[in-house]
Chain A
Amino acid sequence: MAALSEHAIEEIRALPPRFPHIRSAVLPALDVAQDELGYLTREAMTEVAELLDLDPGYVEGVATFYTLLHLEPIGKHHFYVCTNLSCDLRGAYEICDHIKRRIGVEGFDEVSADGLFSLEEVECLGACEFAPMMRYQRRYHYDLTPEKLDALIDAARQNGGERAADPPRDAAASQKPRGRRASSRGPTKEDSAELNA
């Protein structure tokens, strides 16, 4: 144990009451773990499983399904560049080639030698009117050009590779949802049995 800090464990323990069923807390809990460690180690997934009373294999199975959960280390500065059709038609792959050259990697999902950078090819991010575009440091960056990328990469190198502070994860977490309170009954044992089926 102890892949996760006390703080993260506390945060994960606070998640289940937000949902009608404890299992819904698994993805938010994996977020907490990933935010702390940068990616999901097997130990972290096992710890999440124990905290939520789930099977470790189940948690890993969920984690492998979703692309925003990383099972391998990524750079401190990770570029999610959309290459789907709308961005592709406006030069997304040229942008990717430029990033690869500037950060010194051969391909997607490879971390630069200094551990600072990595580049991921992602599907449509829903901002096609600003193509080519990417997600970086929890912000969308629009109308990408080699010059814009150079500025971002240079800035990242200059500040020693420190990541910008993450915005607060969830300001509503303190508020319990209304499902159970407002109704005559919460999920019954039968509901739970079905959900566990």
Chain B
Amino acid sequence: MLKHLLTILWLLALAAPAAAAEQDLLEPDQAFRFSARVLAPDAIEVRYQVAPGYYLYRDKFKFAAQPGSVELGTPELPPGKLKKDEFFGEVQTYRGEVRIRLPVRAAGAANVTLVATSQGCADAGVCYVPHDQTARLTLAAAGSAAGPVRPERSAAESKDEGLNALLSGYSGSPGPGGDDGTIARLFHGELWLLILSFFGFGLLLSFTPCVLPMIPILSGIIVGRGNRMTRAHAFLLSAAYVLGMAITYAAAGVLAGLSGAMLSAALQNPWVVGSFAAVFVVLAGAMFGFYELQLPAALQSRLADASNRLHGGHLAGVFGMGALSALIVGPCVAAPLAGALLYISQSRDVVLGGSALFAMGLGMGAPLLAVGASAGALMPKAGAWMETVKRFFGVLLLAVAIYLVAPLVPLAVEMLAWAALLVVSGIFLHAIDPLPPGARGFDRFAKGVGVIALVAGVAYLVGALAGSRDILQPLAGLRSAAAPAAPVAFTRVDSTDALDRTVAASRGQPVMLDFYADWCVSCKEMERYTFSDPEVQKRMAGMVKLQADVTANTAAHQALLRRFRLFGPPGIIFFDREGREIDGLRVIGFQSARPFAKVLDQALAFERGAP
């Protein structure tokens, strides 16, 4: 069975580069993967994952927000890497991951559309035009202590707006940013969630086959054989043991955070990140039982001897036993612990490392406390299910490996990796094995989870191979093809005279003029993805829709373009009820349905506001 799984994984690994090698240069959205999230009611974090071999210019970022009531402060740009450029002198660039904190002041606006403009190049010797990426965020009301909102991936990209901004003159580069962007601040608000997760992992670790059966024995040793004592005293002793263990783990976490902080530059290196991911895969293998990872037996027994010399029944003694026990890393705990420490070193945060590992230690000790307090009444029965817990950690470690390499590989590869992980996990959960008659509730539940994982994995597989490059909506690409909407009926205009006549005849109705050409890719994308959207169509229904097809590029076409100071399509111009162009509302370049619907709303609202 395992052989088959490995074969499939291998085949997927082979298929991935084939899908990725379609084009040598990445599309800007893949070269500079963008996301944004709300850190606090007054701060947004913008994140770029720059693919290896690509870089962004530090002084070319520009941020804007909609609606206008939202004010953005000076972006806090971390220091970049100095690059000597024979033309521009010393410029600062970003590679790998960049996080930019953006102070924001919103007067009551909950929904914010953030437009981030960036410009970068590839080491291959090409540059991308300034590129706009958009994220929609929900800000908590100012003053309330609401936590951060789930990060949103960039949902829409209007590709050439940044270019137009450039052509109409930059408003200069953003000011110098503070460089105190520590991880601690990035985890602001999320810290408790992380600590809670580590506590949960610790608890789960205690349910693995090499820990759980030991707990009652351990409890006996701690309390001290032959001693009769109250439950309160037993609990206190257990607590001392657990505390000793948790503090040792915390120390390990602090060390991991420190080493990460010292190696921060190296940790940006794709090779280092790649080998970290490989280590995670190796660790995962141990959890699936391909091999065992643990401290050398000699070291383990030496530690055990030291522990045995300490006496149970005394607070200081059991505290020391706990501290030593954390160092005796058994086969079930070794891999997840190493994974946790690697993860912490990636985060490069000492406080986070210490507290997360402390929480994990507490989690691992929780069953011991329960046993101490309840005198063994509150113990789950050991059984085959503990193997499942162990495998769960294997899947978790693989997931972390994918998460680590995600910024370094094309999105297609990432999607295929998730597909492989989900499908294989689903199979392991007996998604396609028939349930035996009279199956237990747990088996049925596991099969249900397995089927979900399998279906989700297949969705990623199909989506990735169908050219979809969206982690959140792997099948979105298929949807638009499956249900093509009726094309929008445009009235053709071919000259300025025809335009004036038509606009004059449509007095009382808003007018939209779309410049189009057969060779204009953005125009086709607009047609396919934006005009076909029901929300957009609903709004466009109330408008006179004109289209100038300038493919032939006749003198009349050029006059038409010149009149609107356009060099060529794509471009959408709006006119008010009086037939005057609505200033500042033109759409240049591709815009996806939701932002475009907002522009249409503004055009319609402008109408109502006009005298």
To the question of whether A and B form a pair in one complex, the answer is: no
Taking Cβ atoms with an 8 Å cutoff, the residues of A that contact B are none
Residues on B lying within 8 angstroms of A by beta carbon are none
